[in-house]
Structure 1
Amino acid sequence: MIIFQLQVVEITKGSKVKYELDKKTGLIKVDRILYSSVVYPHNYGFIPRTLCEDGDPMDVLVLMQEPVIPGCFLRARAIGLMPMIDQGEKDDKIIAVCADDPEYRHYTDIKQLPPHRLAEIRRFFEDCILLVFIIKHKFCSTFFFFHGILNECSDKKNENKEVAVNDFLPSETAHEAIQYSMDLYAEYILQTLRR
């Protein structure tokens, strides 16, 4: 089993505060407060030295008993991949377990998790993304309505709003996705050095 270092940067388990790594400063900033009563079900972050097609590092949700502070490193084992589409773009998530948590470290594949846990994870991402879209779309529509400009919010991104969380894929697929994102990162670094 592959155990990797993870830097949790966006949200701790049970929090509504979404943090994000500011690429210019290297500091962690507050991106937003989640809408409604939605909270992250587990610690969420990224795998360092990876790059995905969206230009960001590989996202990962780490199952463990306790929340951890943003910016800390922990050892995790990928147990599956959650293929996801957000606003028409690929936005897959690695599902992992903390390698040092006695409650979760024995899991080696996503199929070993209880069905309720998988439903909880799926529902969180579906609801969270949809809520962000609805709130932004309502604000935009209201703003332009009051300013006498109709249909300004119906750009392609809003018209084609799609949130799709597909079936969870096994740990082997997660390992392949991580390796691919590491290769993309290495290629990006090489291209940057050649400039």
Structure 2
Amino acid sequence: MRPVLRSSFGYVLSLLRPPPASQTKLLFKSRGLPLYLRNMAHYHTEERGHPNSPDYRIFFKTSEGKYISPFHDIPLFADTEQEYDVPPKKLKKSEMVFNMVVEVPRWSNAKMEIATKEPLNPIKQDVKKGKLRFVANVFPHKGYIWNYGALPQTWEDPNHTDKDTNCCGDNDPVDVCDIGTQVCLPGQVIQVKVLGILAMIDEGETDWKVIAINIEDPDAHRINSLEDVRNIRPGHLEATVEWFRKYKMPDGKPEIQFAFNGQFKDKEFAVEIVKSTHEHWRALVQKNSNTGEIECKNISVCESPFKCTADEARNVVQLTPAFGNALPVSPEVDKWHFL
């Protein structure tokens, strides 16, 4: 794979877009399929709007063509029987595998995220003060240093005070850092093993960062704990803490703080956090918690008052702009910052 030389989100897509051979055959068999409709294993992603612009969105579809929410309709647990043709994994009883929705590919800068306040929760680029957000390159790092994304069907409840951090949740799904070697695509759904967790405290809110590895990674069978990461990927955990500590400083903000003195908690602790945030999500979609501005429209969650039909979901997508050409990105995005 060619190295990524530019931080433009559209440019990253242009480098990463060619799919594996099996997916290429699928695209060519379906002659009417637009090139911007990408197959991610058993899910599809459909781009709308213009990349590098505020109207850009990545919507999710099943293999049957039904639009879904990556926040609510993609299962958290990948090792159980699921809908949408996602096969259950054959695992040891002691091993849990979770689905991860990739929002940001490694080495890229655009701050892409699941739009929790929009119907069907497509991926979009975050906007602050009217400008698209890009993470700065803080030497020696280039953009994000892992595939960054979220665990579906989890929610950090802003009304719940964590007993360990003494801070409330940040109102988002749980974030994940995939340390696997594959550079993923935005919207790709991968299966990961949880290895540990970091408790970031951002503006007084708990913002958990799960450390995980793609189960398709060549080293996945050897990496089952934080200690394995230290031995097999030396320096990666330390770089992760340093990255989060400094990533907002180029914008004039102070260093990020952490609970537990910036120390990672182990796999067992991390899995308990994931399970508890899954229960908070369940209360959210069943309207047992205050949803606030969170959009809970879904097509598959049992007993959810927010469940909608496939036609209603399709109408949500059709109201957004059609896919168009990428807009240019400021050269400032490629600037190095030495802190």
Q: Identify whether the pair has TM-score above 0.5, normalized to the shorter chain.
A: yes
Q: Does 1:34 align with 2:150?
A: no
**Aligned length in residues:** 168
Name the TM-score, length of structure 2 as normaliser: 0.47
CA contact (8 A) 1:77 1:96 kept: yes
Q: Does 1:121 align with 2:240?
A: yes
CA contact (8 A) 1:111 1:170 kept: no
Deviations 1:87-106 (A, max 9, x none): 22111111001111112442
Higher RCO (C-alpha 8 Å, min separation 6): 1
Deviations 1:113-152 (A, max 9, x none): 22511111111111113334x1xx6xxxxxxxxxxxxxxx
1:14 pairs with one of 107, 125, 139: 107
Determine the C-alpha separation between the residues in 1 that align with 2:148 and 2:183: 10
Determine the C-alpha separation between the residues in 2 that align with 1:85 and 1:3: 26
1:45 pairs with one of 137, 141, 149: 149
Identity level (%): 25
Q: 1:111: Cα distance to partner?
A: 2.1
What letter matches 2:109 in structure 1?
K
CA contact (8 A) 1:87 1:162 kept: no
Secondary structure (helix, strand or coil) at the match of 1:92 reads strand
2:225 pairs with one of 109, 112, 116: 109
CA spacing shift, 1:123–1:183, aligned 2, 3 Å: same
Q: How does 1:58-137 map to 2 (within 5 A)?
A: 58-114=174-230, 115-132=234-251, 134=252
Considering fraction of residues, name the structure with more strand.
Answer: 1
Q: Does 1:2 align with 2:96?
A: yes
Determine the C-alpha separation between the residues in 2 that align with 1:30 and 1:113: 30
Q: Does 1:170 align with 2:266?
A: yes
Q: Return 103-112 or 66-75, whichever deviates more.
A: 103-112
Considering fraction of residues, name the structure with more helix.
Answer: 1
Deviations 1:24-66 (A, max 9, x none): 1432222211124441111010000111122111111011112
Determine the C-alpha separation between the residues in 1 that align with 2:263 and 2:216: 27
Q: Which runs of 5+ in 1 are unaligned?
A: 138-160
